[in-house]
Structure 1
Amino acid sequence: MTGTSSVFRKKFPGLDEEIFQYVEGVLENLGDFSDGQELHDAIGGLLMESVGADKDTEIRKLCEDLMSCSTNGVTSDSASSVGSKMLLTSPIQLAQMAEDQERQEEVKSVWIQQRDDSMKVDQKKLEKAEAKLREKREKRGNEQSYQPPAIVNTMATATQEISRKDRALDAKGGNNTKDIRIENFDVAFGDRVLIQNSTITLAFGRRYALIGRNGLGKTTLLRMIAAGVLRIPSHISVLHVEQEVTADDTSALESVLQCDTVRHALLQEEKALQQRIAGGDSDQALSERLAAVYAELQAIEADKAPAKASVILCGLGFTREMQQQATKKFSGGWRMRIALARALFTQPDLLLLDEPTNMLDLKAIIWLEGYLLTWPTTLLLVSHDRHFLDSVPTDVLHLHSRAIQSYRGNYENFLNTRTERQKNQQREYDSQMQFRAHVQEFIDKFRYNAKRASLVQSKIKMLEKLPELQPVEKESVVVFSFPDVDKLSPPILQLDEVSFRYSKDGPPIFQDVNLTTTMTSRTCIVGDNGAGKTTLLKILLGELSPTKGQRFCNRQLRIGYFSQHHVDQLDLRLSAVSLLQERFPGKPVEEYRRQLGRFGVSGDLALQQLASLSGGQKSRVAFAAMAAASPSFLILDEPTNHLDIETIEALGEAIKLYKGGVVLVSHDERLIRQVCTELWLCGNGTVRSIEGGFDSYRHLVQAEIAAVA
């Protein structure tokens, strides 16, 4: 340890060893620095990081003192202290110094030194010291510590044209129409244009379904309308069901009732007035106001509100006991149901629903279908449920090629009408192309014929005036492809007399369950929410152990599990390619891209940050990650959430072609009918097979709804 570096050790005893070694290496070449400022520039930053920025003055003074001693020919080895009067222990031999320095190739003169910057820093020691500092900063949460890539938070933007007449009417409050017309609007997400130069008209009292592929901007459009970015008449009330209700001590029923602000305010005022009167306040005005409040409550039929709210909650799966429970006792999915109940109870002029069936079981979906069929105001919804889209909408808005086209009727009518439109469009385009080719042939043939020059010119002008028709732009076909699997001998996956409960004193979830699966199984588990479907899947997976009975599994079985919360567990800071690289390292990038391409994630989409993808696109990435492990058996829990209709069709086809076994939980009627050959009904403490397929199950559910009503 040199004397100069020991000064720092004495002054700052808590100095990190790695940083001290780096400082020591720098001070060995003290002659390379011209003054204290240069020395401070070299070591001051690291020292302050280690001992604190408040020590900068002391560090700077030490640097000045050391350089002062150095320029006077004194080393700290012979000094008793820095900055005090020092004596030389031996004479300085200038001739010997000159002879030593001449041996160095880099130095051309004894008196004019050529500074060698590489000697000022020991790179290895510097890297070691900086690594130590990073570790310390991370421990104390320093803002300068390393942070992973931030999630890109690109904001959606929108523009639209508003006529002066509409603007003036809205400003004066003279616009009383409940119809909505959003003209010539654009919607963009960052640099990407989602919707361009489109116009939509929403007639009051009609039910509109907004459909289109994942990632085209359906959810963004609903948010733009709800946030007022896309302007509609100010007197029209809008409610967008997107966020779950706050978890607090308010009961589910009271939470729904409170959203009627007029009724809630009148009841609060009534309570306050009664307290003042009971307290002895004899002011006549209080009695008169109380009578007026009673009259207003009667006019809005406030006494019928609890019954109406209870009916809505009951239809969405809340029992009488659940309606009295505090919202904080419910999971996020159930609180979303409360938010939906609040919207249905409020009846805004425009109700916006984004995938309302995602959180519902079949019983609640059937009830919601019936309830929305009598919806009195305007409804705009996004849904992937084919049966729901055939039952509820009166109109369809199709988002495609950055434009929105309107169709009358439900989804089935939309498909038929669009097919006819596309046929006519292609027919007109082909006819015009033939006509253009025929005219162009005439022009080319007689272009240099003087006698027909005028006729050629007229033909050219005619071509220029023809409208430019476009061919039918067909949507890319979505394809899912699960990997090939090796054949396994039975038993594959089996439950034998299995019972389960979460605690010894708790109620049984199910008892004496006997289930057998094979490599050709296509089994769907159905039942009400809370009946134990996900619990049954976790027992099949081996994540939960049966309370009673046995689970048998083939030793070579590899299970691929897709959870309904799988998308929420993705690291949104990564791209799809980076996600696969992290989970399955050591493969070439082309292999990761090939795997993603098997699930429709290709091109730039595979390189985008996951946070910028739509819910359906994230689901495709999750499927690709699950399939990358080459599972021989699939267990899928609500796999259709967030997927568009075309992607659900692709998933169904992939399941049918898959050579391994499949067990899934789903409420998507079309997917169940498409792939499943066996239904297990979970409920009432047991799991049983249903004869007659999905039709029998639907009739059973409809009978239960009718019995409750």
Structure 2
Amino acid sequence: MAKCGDFIKSQFPLIDEELMKYVEDILDSSAGEFEDTEEVFEAVGEVLQGISEKSEKDIRDICEKLLHMLQPDKPGSSNGPRKVLDAPIHLASMAAPVTETEDLRSIWINTRDDNLKVDAKKLEKAEAKLQQKQQKQKDSKVPSAVPVLQTATASQVTSKKDSKLEAKGTNRTQDIRIENFDIAYGDRVLLQGADLVLAFGRRYGLVGRNGLGKTTLLRMIASKQLKIPSHISILHVEQEVVGDDTVALQSVLECDTTREYLLKREKEITTMINTGSTDPSLSNELSDIYAQLENIEADKAPARASIILSGLGFTPEMQTRATKTFSGGWRMRLALARALFSKPDLLLLDEPTNMLDIKAIIWLENYLQNWPTTLLVVSHDRNFLDTVPTDIMHLHTQRIDTYRGNYEQFHKTKTEKHKNQQREYEAQQQHRAHTQEFIDRFRYNANRASSVQSKIKMLDKLPELKPVEKEIEVVLRFPEVEPLSPPILQLNEVGFYYSKDKIIFSDVNLGATLESRICIVGDNGAGKTTLLKIIMGILSPTSGIRSVHRGLKFGYFSQHHVDQLEMNVNSVELLQKSYPGKTIEEYRRQLGSFGVSGDLALQTIASLSGGQKSRVAFARMCMGNPNFLVLDEPTNHLDIETIEALGKAITKYTGGVILVSHDERLIRMVCKELWVCGNGSVTSIEGGFDEYRKIVERELEVQNK
């Protein structure tokens, strides 16, 4: 396969990497099944022809060479496999004398033995096998390696001026302007005739309801399906770092390719000089390398990388560990650290706070406020959006509106703008109605004919204003529960460890009631999820006593609930499988109470956005009528409006709630009691979240000194 890839690159040096991967995937998946050159041409010929000016004959010749590489022992040609006869054929001898009783149709064929007739069953099997093979070849033409390209497409209009500058290589603008572009996801249009302008050095927060295309837009920019100036470097933090033997700190340093090359070359030249080389040019080159290293402050790079890793929660010991020893969440932090260290011209972040604890979020907020290039971030964290962005981009109704200021300013401006639009619309409607009344009253009055005509013309010239399209308010409703007499839940002298040299916490004394609104905070790895599992009885404490009311029924929403949903069924079918025996109306009513209604409830789970999947997970959790909710990072996939709705739903809920979250706004909305996990203990602190934030900020100040 590598041989084919090298050959294709030699023939098409400008081929795009994703397209190259696509062609290689097709050839690899059907390598042993191509019958002839024609089949290879059908599979990849049109794609190759579309990226070059080669003639069809040239492309067919290339396909024939590819066939020989894939199947070296097979004679391939465009006319199919050749067969050589091993003896001459005499047609006369094949025609037996015909008698009057013989069927005239047999004049040119010998009578065949019945044993040689085609077996109908075998023929049927052969045809089925052929159809299966053809279907497989057809399916292989879809690029499986890049799932985004299967479903999302983009188109845009580019100005002739920009195209000319790009062609000449003289475009040096740092601003990014993507005008009049469309994005579709399958048959669904996400953006139509939209404009996106990113001024260099500004920080943009991209907001909008779940499922409208925010993540898809970022992917389109990152993959350059939406064209931007080629000299602008882009980094999209989406995939976690691949785990290998590279040390975490070195993994970050490797992002600076210039520094890495200079250090490697310095080492090579030093080795050559030390082994006796007398080439004078080596000394000159070494001096030049030292100057460049000094110019880019290469000696300060390890310290800068270490500061970033430390801010994101990596201890000095963790920074020296191989990347393969970290979990997926920590590898995502590592990917974020690499992005912050490399400082691309355009940094794209999609929900960066999802993987971080409150301490790391506060550090990241402070770090990004001094970000030197352009930043475009999708986030649901209201406090993050109030702190980091200089501008807010609002994605709605297939377009993007830009507002100056942070999220709070955006919300005020948008609300006032909508009020003004609605007032203007209502005033125009009244004016239209009043004018129409005059026209109707005097339409047939000859004395008023000129006035009527004047009013009709005036109505025709009035711009047609439309009423403000209000976004449907998100409402979440948790089930009503019966009261329970206390005590409900109690932990007495509880301790837990996975191994005696790694104690998670000890001497925990805490309690909860059906009125409890408890929020648990702490660094990642401090034991928050472990504490939740002990509370629910999933884990048993290694010391102490857990006491619960016999009527207590937990509803558990874990960080991984969304990922664990069955993807190939719709929401109604999912509830049917989890809670069989109820009517379709009951399932739909349950889903509707979490905003999954209409056609949305009949879409496959896989086609839903992250936030919509979360709502389905909530609906399934509450179908069992729990009277105590345990929520572990429930906001990770929710948009701002749904987080607000979740806060209101928790406040109205008549059962108890224990919540692990890093979303500051949600904690402030619902928290009545704050538990802090850390340093081998769990403690309830007075002063709530304000006091905890002060503690964290003091720790960061000490860390940065």
Partner of 1:341: 337
Partner of 2:619: 624
Distance 2:408 2:485 in 1: 44
CA contact (8 A) 1:244 1:339 kept: yes
User: How many angstroms does 1:199 deviate by?
Assistant: 1.1
Residue 409 in 1 paired to residue 488 in 2? Answer: no
| SS class of match (1:379) | strand
| SS class of match (1:569) | coil
Over residues 607-640 of structure 1, what are the superposed CA-to-partner deviations in whole Å (9 max), with x where a residue is unaligned?
1111111111111111111111111111110011
Residue 201 in 1 paired to residue 197 in 2? Answer: yes
Distance 1:695 1:183 in 2: 44
Partner of 1:554: 549
| SS class of match (2:498) | coil
Distance 2:435 2:363 in 1: 61
Partner of 2:677: 682
Partner of 1:691: 686
User: How many angstroms does 1:212 deviate by?
Assistant: 0.8
Partner of 2:659: 664
Partner of 1:113: none
Q: Following superposition of structure 1 onto structure 2, how do residues 222-233 of structure 1 map, counting pairs within 5 Å?
A: 222-233=218-229
Q: Point out the more displaced range, 173-182 or 670-679.
A: 173-182
Over residues 654-688 of structure 1, what are the superposed CA-to-partner deviations in whole Å (9 max), with x where a residue is unaligned?
11111111111011111111111001111000011
Partner of 1:257: 253
Aligned residue type for 1:278: N
Partner of 1:310: 306
CA contact (8 A) 1:260 1:346 kept: yes
Q: Following superposition of structure 1 onto structure 2, how do residues 88-487 of structure 1 map, counting pairs within 5 Å?
A: 155-487=151-483
User: How many angstroms does 1:490 deviate by?
Assistant: 2.7
Q: Point out the more displaced range, 680-689 or 449-458.
A: 449-458
CA contact (8 A) 1:154 1:189 kept: no
| SS class of match (1:543) | coil
Aligned residue type for 1:395: D
Indicate which of 582, 590, 601 corresponds to 1:606.
601
Residue 491 in 1 paired to residue 504 in 2? Answer: no
User: How many angstroms does 1:38 deviate by?
Assistant: 9.9
Q: Point out the more displaced range, 680-689 or 587-596.
A: 587-596
Over residues 146-188 of structure 1, what are the superposed CA-to-partner deviations in whole Å (9 max), with x where a residue is unaligned?
xxxxx99951111111110011111112121111111111111
| SS class of match (1:640) | coil
Over residues 510-559 of structure 1, what are the superposed CA-to-partner deviations in whole Å (9 max), with x where a residue is unaligned?
01111111111110111111111111111112111111112112222211
Q: Point out the more displaced range, 677-686 or 582-591.
A: 582-591
User: How many angstroms does 1:274 deviate by?
Assistant: 1.9
User: How many angstroms does 1:448 deviate by?
Assistant: 2.6
CA contact (8 A) 1:152 1:612 kept: no
Partner of 1:533: 528
| SS class of match (1:697) | helix
| SS class of match (1:159) | strand
CA contact (8 A) 1:355 1:384 kept: yes
Alignment length (residue pairs): 575
Distance 2:430 2:352 in 1: 48
CA gap of 1:656–1:266, structure 2 versus 1, over 3 A, is same
Over residues 389-411 of structure 1, what are the superposed CA-to-partner deviations in whole Å (9 max), with x where a residue is unaligned?
11111111111111211111111
Normalising by structure 1, we get a TM-score of 0.79
CA gap of 1:41–1:585, structure 2 versus 1, over 3 A, is farther
Distance 1:153 1:608 in 2: 21
- Which structure has the larger Rg? 1
Residue 41 in 1 paired to residue 36 in 2? Answer: no
Partner of 1:520: 515
Distance 2:118 2:315 in 1: 76
Partner of 1:650: 645
Aligned residue type for 2:566: D
Distance 1:689 1:42 in 2: 76
CA RMSD of aligned residues (A): 2.0
Distance 1:367 1:254 in 2: 22
Partner of 1:21: none
Distance 1:631 1:324 in 2: 45
Distance 1:659 1:489 in 2: 13
Partner of 1:572: 567
User: How many angstroms does 1:47 deviate by?
Assistant: 12
Aligned residue type for 1:581: Q
Q: Point out the more displaced range, 154-163 or 325-334.
A: 154-163
Gaps of 5+ in 1: 1-34, 54-142, 144-150
Distance 1:426 1:299 in 2: 58
Distance 1:37 1:223 in 2: 60
| SS class of match (1:508) | strand
| SS class of match (1:357) | helix
User: How many angstroms does 1:46 deviate by?
Assistant: 8.2
Gaps of 5+ in 2: 1-113, 130-138, 140-146
Distance 1:706 1:43 in 2: 79
Aligned residue type for 1:508: I
CA contact (8 A) 1:386 1:645 kept: yes
| SS class of match (2:352) | coil
User: How many angstroms does 1:450 deviate by?
Assistant: 3.5
Distance 2:279 2:272 in 1: 9
Distance 2:485 2:116 in 1: 78
CA contact (8 A) 1:152 1:611 kept: no
CA gap of 1:247–1:152, structure 2 versus 1, over 3 A, is closer
CA contact (8 A) 1:521 1:661 kept: yes
| SS class of match (1:404) | strand
| SS class of match (2:434) | helix
| SS class of match (1:215) | coil
| SS class of match (1:629) | coil
| SS class of match (2:353) | coil
CA contact (8 A) 1:245 1:336 kept: yes
Distance 2:126 2:172 in 1: 71
Distance 2:658 2:292 in 1: 56
| SS class of match (2:520) | strand
Normalising by structure 2, we get a TM-score of 0.79
Distance 1:305 1:555 in 2: 58
Aligned residue type for 1:524: C
CA contact (8 A) 1:509 1:531 kept: yes
Partner of 2:16: none
| SS class of match (1:501) | strand
Distance 2:197 2:405 in 1: 15
Partner of 2:697: 702
Aligned residue type for 2:160: R
Over residues 544-603 of structure 1, what are the superposed CA-to-partner deviations in whole Å (9 max), with x where a residue is unaligned?
111111211222221111011111111111111121111112222111111111111111
User: How many angstroms does 1:447 deviate by?
Assistant: 2.3
CA contact (8 A) 1:152 1:609 kept: no
User: How many angstroms does 1:286 deviate by?
Assistant: 2.0
Aligned residue type for 1:676: C
Partner of 1:591: 586
Partner of 2:19: none
Percent of aligned pairs with the same residue?
Answer: 67
CA gap of 1:152–1:182, structure 2 versus 1, over 3 A, is closer
